[in-house]
Chain A
Amino acid sequence: MSAILETPVRAFESVSGAGAGEMLELAIGPHHPSTHGVFRMDVVLDGERVRRLKPVFGYLHRNHEKIAEGQSYLSSMPYTDRLDYFCSLTNNWAYALTVEKLAGLQVPERAEYIRVITAELTRVQNHLCLIGFLLQDMGASGTPLMYAFREREKILDLFESLTGARMMCNYMRFGGCRVDLPTGWMEEAQQVVQGLARFLDEFEALLTGNEILMARTQHIGVLSSAAAVNAGVTGPMLRASGVNYDVRKVDRYGVYDRFDFRIPLGDHGDTYDRYLIRVLEMRESLKILRVALRDLPEGPVMDPKARLRGFRPKAGEAYGRIEAPKGELGFHLISDGSPNPFRYRVRPPSLMNLTVLEEMCMGRMLADVVVILGSVDIVLGEVDR
């Protein structure tokens, strides 16, 4: 409790040395429109240049792991929705994958395809929202975000007709998916995917060559590939720094080995690359979606051996990971043979990606900090859990 008691946290000793002027210590957040939730950055400024930056989080610590250890495996599934609340379906998948590993369950082919389809739709809407918010942070007040949310609503409509909820889908189960696709869903999804391809062209025409966007993002917040690897950064942030690492290709979990898709890589590791990587990833996702919707096999969506009630995996441990839209999302479960997990640990990608924030912001202007943070793509539900 002591860390909470002292507010504001006096995180820094005074900065001294040649050229050091009067330093200003500024707390950005926890209530600040650019922090994407309840996140705080304690920044030391020399004029407008950042000299130190310390992220302070825990404002949304909701005891996810502790609660999960006190209840059955299945009861944690709806809680995983609320980790990264933009991407409930990929969270579901990571957790289901880990438990399937722990209990040795098989997933029917149709369910694997549905998982790929829902996960890629999730990736598209996550990246859309991220770009919208990034541009909002840059002062493009409204327009890109409005367009992004317009398209996101179409994807959420698909989720709603499939799972019954817009955001908190709670859809996957150990050994498959909860329900099969409703009639007409495939056609709707195909229409949405077609529309998204057209929309992306339009969105890119608006943004990618935009002079203001380029001026605000190019050569700003550069993250070297070595620093990214050392810090354990994953996902689009790592690939924007030029490291070819995607869990979909490395682990080939699910049925990802059946799809032909490329991994876009960045050259400079700056904010503009991080923006562009997301656009390119969305295009690759649409490619996967087209094939998956075409090849979806018939069959059951649940492993007949899977038991939802009285589920007790044998003692042991498992680490399962997937490529969530924000990076490598992992779950580590230790079972002691009881109905509850003995240890339940989440490896949230956006927490790891946040650790390089100071390095990227050092020496930049204060206005760049907002843009750099926007390009990291954090969701506090996942950072603080």
Chain B
Amino acid sequence: MEVTDQELKIDLQKQGVLMTSLNELYNWGRKNSVWPLQFGLACCAIEMIAASMARYDLARFGAEVFRPSPRQADLMIVAGTVTKKMAPQVVRLYNQMAEPKYVIAMGACAISGGPFKQGYNVLKGIDRYLPVDVHIPGCPPRPEALLHAFMTLQNKIASQPLTGPARPRHLRAGAPSEFSVPQCGPHGLVPPSNPAVWRPPTAAQAG
């Protein structure tokens, strides 16, 4: 049952009666125990560590348990520059994570290649291979920005329905949970992007 009458709900709570739906309860549990993968690529990883330390205290969001194994992680924070040598490993790590899983692209490099975009060895955005849930701009983003991304992700998790056509990927039978790992070819990564995840933006003709 969907609890829609918020005032009634609040009134009942004052009487000591908690009314919720299975959907809300399920998402409440999920959103407050997002365990990130302990996985740093470059400069942004230091800000990620700083966010988990005393001053910024990521533990407030239930996300301080950085797991070194992808099997135990729910969230991949792509913190730093993804090079063409590293991209296959990043996708492989994502594939090894269990569903439900989420991705935060932290920093300009993970989003688009950032200041190193013009380089010959830098991937121009991890969203070419992985479905990214939250992008954080910045070079590097401040720990507060990472906290904001966490809250954004928590809101996203909280709003996911368990049933219906809008249900998330891990509840849809047949939806892909693994994505093809790119290979190093003679002129960079093959394929250059995963068309199931990302398509190059097309310029629309005006008029």
Contacts and interface: CB of A to CB of B under 8 A. Distances in A.
A31 B89 CA distance: 8
A241 B18 CA distance: 66
B86 A168 contact: no
B16 interface: no
Interface string A150-167: 101100000000000011
Q: Is the interface of B mostly helix, strand, loop or mixed?
A: loop
B122 A62 contact: yes
A149 B184 contact: no
B40 interface: yes
A155 B72 CA distance: 35
A61 to B, nearest CB: 5
Interface string B165-207: 0000000000000000000111000000000000000000000
A85 B122 contact: no
Contacts of B85: 4, 58-59, 61
A7 to B, nearest CB: 8
B50 interface: yes
A67 B42 contact: no
B42 A150 contact: no
B55 to A, nearest CB: 5
B32 interface: no
A149 B140 contact: no
Contact of B184 (A4, A59, A66, A78): A4
Interface in B1-55: 38-43, 45-47, 49-50, 53-55
Q: Is the interface of A mostly helix, strand, loop or mixed?
A: loop
A60 B83 contact: yes
Interface string A187-202: 0000000000000000
Contacts of B184: 1, 4-5
Interface of A: 1, 4-5, 7, 30-33, 37-38, 58-64, 66-67, 70, 78-79, 82, 85-86, 145-146, 149-150, 152-153, 166-168, 380-381
Interface of B: 38-43, 45-47, 49-50, 53-55, 68, 80-81, 83-86, 88-89, 93, 115-116, 118-122, 139-140, 142, 184-186
7 smallest CB-CB distances across A and B, nearest first, come from: A63-B119, A85-B43, A149-B53, A62-B116, A33-B68, A4-B184, A59-B86
